Structure 1
Amino acid sequence: MENRGKSHVDIFDRASREAWAQHFGVSEERLRKAVSMVGTRITSITAYLHRPSA
């Protein structure tokens, strides 16, 4: 799957979900949590996943 040029993660598409989880280096569950917290915009997910742990 080609992620370049996309602005949102399609969390309902299994292949897309797997590809994005691999791209971010997280589990699909972690990706789902990020989407539930900040939405599907890739920039928001990136910021959420790379924020410092409190």
Structure 2
Amino acid sequence: MLQVAPSKTDAERLLLISPEPAEVLTTVIFRVRAGNGALPLVSAYDVFEQTRSLPLLPT
């Protein structure tokens, strides 16, 4: 269950989510609370030329 804090409707909500997204959200929350919320840069993979690009910068 995902607990959503009250918003403009002042109503707390509980959403049923599967274990995989719950694990990802838990990991993100722990990283942000630990002060290590930065994500590593990633590179794109071209399936036709089978090469990787330089790390992509955030926009």
TM-score (normalizing by structure 1): 0.28
Larger Rg: 2
Query: Which structure's relative contact order is higher, taking Cα pairs within 8 Å and 6+ residues apart?
Result: 1
TM-score (normalizing by structure 2): 0.26
